[in-house]
Amino acid sequence: MSFDVRPVTDTLVAERPAVDAETFVREIASGYAPVVLRGQVAEWPAVAAGRRGERALAEYVAGFAGGKPLEVLLGQPEIAGRFFYRDDMRGFNFMRQQVPLGALMAQLLQLAESGAVDPPAIYANAAAAPDHLPGWSEANRLGLPATGATPRVWIGNATRVATHYDASPNLAAVVAGRRRFTLFPPEQVANLYVGPLDRTLAGPPASMVDPDEPDLERYPRFAEAMRHAQVAELGPGDVLFIPAIWWHHVRAFDRINVLVNYWWAYDTSATPFVAMVHALMSVRDLPPAEKKAWKAWFDHLVFGEDAAHAGDHLPEHARGVLGAPGKERNERITAYLLGMLSARR
């Protein structure tokens, strides 16, 4: 498999041949490291269509038209496929449009067959298959347990997605085109120079560093992040398992690229990112002695090895928000927080 740009590291993500569902649960999903599953979805009809060429691929994907239009990111040729902030950080270097699936595939095919050297960047991201490509899920079944996960389809030409993380485990299945994932473990967050938390490109915050052309004078700690980076180079039929909170940069190399991903095991009632942002206001700027005192609380109730048992000395009916995880406890915590926050307004 040939790629056009040298990766930032020679360290490759661990890989293995396709696995069955039981093996996936026991040996891969239970771990906390990325894994490439070579040829895991090689038998998909969509992958077979891509092997027949760009026109066959475009026609196959367009055959699922009939759902809602897709959100498509559009960037001028000068962004070189990298969807990001503008230089002044007052906006983004792309526009968003709602585009029907048939029109999207026709445009990508026209650009591909024209041989355009510097085409505009086009990317439909995270289109939920049941809504936008009805019938896709039934025609291209994953065969791995991703309970409750909605297949989401990503379609575009040669594009780059800034380094970001997902709050849940992720399975990314390549249908057509070559993709390179550059992954960084969660503990490298300080070396990735994270951008705005509250004005993001597409949900989670992103690194300000371009791994393909890192500016180490401006972002010197990124050199340490590169020491810990892993690269997965994927082709049609390959699947990448990405654990939750692992950072990843995604580059698609070909004139038409299609990927399907599955986010699963995500508890929408869990809001660690929101809790962290609130801590910026309520904890970070306290006097050092007070902050140290609250750190002891956090260690005792949240991060300590015995945190889940912090309320065990109380009768079960009296534990309140310290009770065992579950719907009832979560509802109690939500009500308590809403009451506390409302009283402070």
Q: What is the pLDDT of residue 164?
A: 97
More confident residue, 343 or 320: 320
Instruction: Give the mean model confidence (pLDDT) for residues 249-255.
Output: 97
Q: How confident is the model at residue 4 (pLDDT cuts 50, 70, 90)?
A: confident
Q: What is the pLDDT of residue 31?
A: 94
Q: Which domains does the chain have, with CATH numbers?
A: 14-263 (2.60.120.10), 272-343 (no CATH)
Q: How confident is the model at residue 334 (pLDDT cuts 50, 70, 90)?
A: confident
247 closest CA partner among 170, 173, 154, 178: 170
Q: Which residues contact 34 (CB under 8 A, 6 or more apart)?
A: 13, 14, 181, 183, 230, 232, 240, 241, 242, 243, 246
Query: How many Cβ atoms sit within 10 Å of the Cβ of residue 168?
Result: 19
Q: How far apart are CA 129 and CA 279, in angstroms?
A: 36
β-pair type (82-83, 160-164): parallel
Sheet holding 82-83, edge to edge: 82-83, 160-164, 247-252, 179-184, 230-234
Is the model's pLDDT at 49 over the cut of 90?
A: yes
Q: What is the pLDDT of residue 10?
A: 86
Is the model's pLDDT at 266 over the cut of 90?
A: no
Handedness of CA 185, 188, 189, 193 (dihedral sign): negative
Is the model's pLDDT at 249 over the cut of 70?
A: yes
Q: How confident is the model at residue 116 (pLDDT cuts 50, 70, 90)?
A: confident
Q: What is the pLDDT of residue 2?
A: 60
Q: What is the pLDDT of residue 9?
A: 84
**Mean pLDDT of all residues belonging to the chain:** 94
Specify the range with the lowest mean pLDDT, choosing from 169-173, 191-195, 328-332, 341-345: 341-345
127 closest CA partner among 192, 209, 65: 65
Query: How would you class 136 by CB atoms within 10 Å of its CB: exposed for 0-12, middle for 13-18, buried for 19 or more?
Result: buried
Q: Which run of H or of E encompasses 153? A: strand 152-156
Instruction: Give the mean model confidence (pLDDT) for residues 282-306.
Output: 94
More confident residue, 282 or 340: 282
Query: How many Cβ atoms sit within 10 Å of the Cβ of residue 297?
Result: 11
Query: How many Cβ atoms sit within 10 Å of the Cβ of residue 72?
Result: 22
First to last CA, the chain: 58
Q: How far apart are CA 164 and CA 263, in angstroms?
A: 14
More confident residue, 105 or 265: 105
Can you spell out the DSSP letters for 259-327?
EEEEE-S--TT--HHHHHHHHHHHTTTS-HHHHHHHHHHHIIIIISTTGGGTTTTS-GGG-GGGS-SSH
Q: Which tens digits make up the pLDDT trace of 7-45?
A: 888 899 999 999 999 999 999 999 999 999 999 999 999
Tell me, yes or no, if the pTM score tops 0.85: yes
The separation between CA 37 and the C-alpha centre of its own chain, rounded to angstroms, equals: 18
Q: How confident is the model at residue 202 (pLDDT cuts 50, 70, 90)?
A: confident
Q: What is the pLDDT of residue 75?
A: 97
67 closest CA partner among 139, 110, 122, 127: 127
Q: What is the pLDDT of residue 6?
A: 83
Query: How would you class 9 by CB atoms within 10 Å of its CB: exposed for 0-12, middle for 13-18, buried for 19 or more?
Result: middle
Q: How confident is the model at residue 148 (pLDDT cuts 50, 70, 90)?
A: confident
Q: How confident is the model at residue 113 (pLDDT cuts 50, 70, 90)?
A: very high
Q: What is the pLDDT of residue 137?
A: 95
Q: Which tens digits make up the pLDDT trace of 212-234?
A: 999 999 999 999 999 999 999 99
Instruction: Give the mean model confidence (pLDDT) for residues 148-166.
Output: 96
